[in-house]
Amino acid sequence: MKNSYSRRSFLKSAAMLTASMPAIIPASALGRTNTPPGDRIVLGHIGVGNRGSALLRSFLQVDDQQSVAVCDPYANKRKAQAAQVDKFYAEKLGRPDYKACAAYGDFRELLARDDIDAVVIATPDHWHVPIAIEAVKAGKDVYVEKPLGVSIRENQAMRRAVRQNGRIFQYGTQQRSWRQFRFAVELVRNGYIGTLHTIHAWCPDISSQEQAFNEPIVGSQQPIDIPAGFDYDLWLGPAPWSPYTADRCTSFGSYHHYDNSLGFIAGWGAHPLDIAQWGNNTDDTAPIFYEGKGEINKGLYESVRWWDFRCTYQNGVKMRLMSEAIGRQVFSELHPETHSHGTTFIGDEGWVSVNRASILAGPMSLLDVRLGPREEHLRERNNHYAHFVECVRTRLDSISPVNTAVQSDIISHLCDISIRVGRPIRWDPQQEEIIGDAEATRRMTRSLRSPWRLS
């Protein structure tokens, strides 16, 4: 049995945590089901590119947690982020000599540390599930960036692993912790728009980004030398091998290369879809029918470039999923404001539409509603990152638990599969299988490059 290690004692003894591995006792090692307030939650950060470094900054602001390790196959990124962490604690503690954040190239070394309670995973999409499964097997709780896996079978394996290992999972769908999204969903759930019958969800796509750059986005396929200090083989991991090119391992590249992701139909689509599922009260299921169209991009980025899908839920609600230009056009039929993304709920007595910039409604007076004590109030969480730390401590399910991730991501996968096989998809949400289409069913699985496998 290891001892508790309070925040106060951390602050007192942090000065002792110099270049050697920090002597930290994690909450999970205490053998208790939850961790008392004041005890620190110890975090490691896997993938510290654009998003991972932003998350790291957010987590550093959370009380009663300590970030002790970062990991990235780019030596320059991991060293820079470890230095940022040390600088943060040096200033916070008034100890200029503080130097305790370890920098790893290989996530397995970070996961082997038994002083780490939880990990924040912000790698490219193709690594989310393989790393998160290894993490929960190693007894870590996981904050996993959206989208979830690169196949439906990966998503299902992720859920099994979280449940079998009794770990906390939180999805990187931070809109759930924003007040306006919660309020929109509360209006829908409490019947303020009457009976919900239609949902519109839309987001940016490759073609909307092309308009910003004013040129086709295809990505270079010209092989070039791998930069020094970069472990390209580990970056690829379970993805098929292909030559390194200038555009391959950038943030944008991994968003749109099909080997690494599904493109924005899942990557950006995860956000409006997550809110759609929340408002429809269908977090534990997915629509049963998918019919629509879309186009696969050319060049390096051969993910879906635009899409327009109509899906039907078992509860009869219809959902239209769209890429940006179509979504903007459809929303203009309701309201003159235009937004690159959003989720609109339409009922037989009104509508409400929410995005990161605004919440709009018809009639607008709906926005003055104050819920009564007997109405459905959703859990109020205003900081997605503090909430994760709180869940690691209390062992209560997060506001974005694993099945929300699995189900909303399944919707993106089924639209993608429908485009690739060129016909509508019927889905059995109980068995979680595609109905009567062997070719589409094969696309629910992707093989992993050896020696990687989902264990």
Ligand X SMILES: NC(=O)c1ccc[n+]([C@@H]2O[C@H](COP(=O)([O-])OP(=O)(O)OC[C@H]3O[C@@H](n4cnc5c(N)ncnc54)[C@H](O)[C@@H]3O)[C@@H](O)[C@H]2O)c1
**Applying CB under 6 A, which part among 120-128, 209-217, 367-375, 411-419 lies near ligand X?**
120-128
The per-residue DSSP string of 197-209 comes to EEEEEEE--HHHH
User: How many chain residues interact with ligand X (CB under 6 A)?
Assistant: 28
Verify binding: residue 301, ligand X, rule CB under 6 A.
no
Minimum Å gap between C-beta 322 and ligand X is 19
Residue 51 in the binding site for ligand X (CB under 6 A): yes
Q: Choose, by CB under 6 A, the member of 22, 44, 124, 238 that binds ligand X.
A: 124
Residue among 13, 20, 50, 445 that touches ligand X (CB under 6 A): 50
Smallest distance from ligand X to CB 109, Å: 10
Q: Which is nearer to ligand X, 22 or 267 (CB)?
A: 267
3-class DSSP assignment, residue 411: helix
Question: Binding residue for ligand X (CB under 6 A) from 95, 146, 320, 393?
Answer: 146
Is 69 a binding residue for ligand X by CB under 6 A? The answer is no
Helices (H), 94-167: 107-111, 125-137, 152-165
What are the backbone angles phi and psi of residue 173, rounded to the nearest 5°? -105, 75
Piece of 20-28, 72-80, 155-163, 208-216 that binds ligand X (CB under 6 A): 72-80
Over the Cα atoms of the chain, what is R_g? 22
Chain-centroid distance of CA 141 in Å reads 15
Q: Does 251 bind ligand X (CB under 6 A)?
A: yes
Euclidean distance between CA atoms 55 and 344, whole angstroms: 28
Per-residue tokens: 21:
């591995």
> Could you tell me how many residues make up the chain?
455
Q: Does 234 bind ligand X (CB under 6 A)?
A: yes
CA–CA gap between residue 304 and residue 397 (Å, rounded): 33
Task: Judge contact between 60 and 67, C-beta under 8 A.
Answer: yes
**Residue 52 within binding range of ligand X, rule CB under 6 A:** yes
Q: Say how far apart CA 260 and CA 238 lie, in whole Å.
A: 9
| Paired tokens of 308 | 């327009």
Nearer to ligand X, 50 or 242 (CB): 50
Contact stretch for ligand X (CB under 6 A) within 47-55, 177-185, 372-380, 427-435: 47-55
- Which pair of tokens denotes residue 335? 């309201």
Q: Which residues bind ligand X (CB under 6 A)?
A: 46-52, 71-74, 77, 107, 122-125, 127, 145-146, 172, 174, 234-235, 237, 251, 254, 267
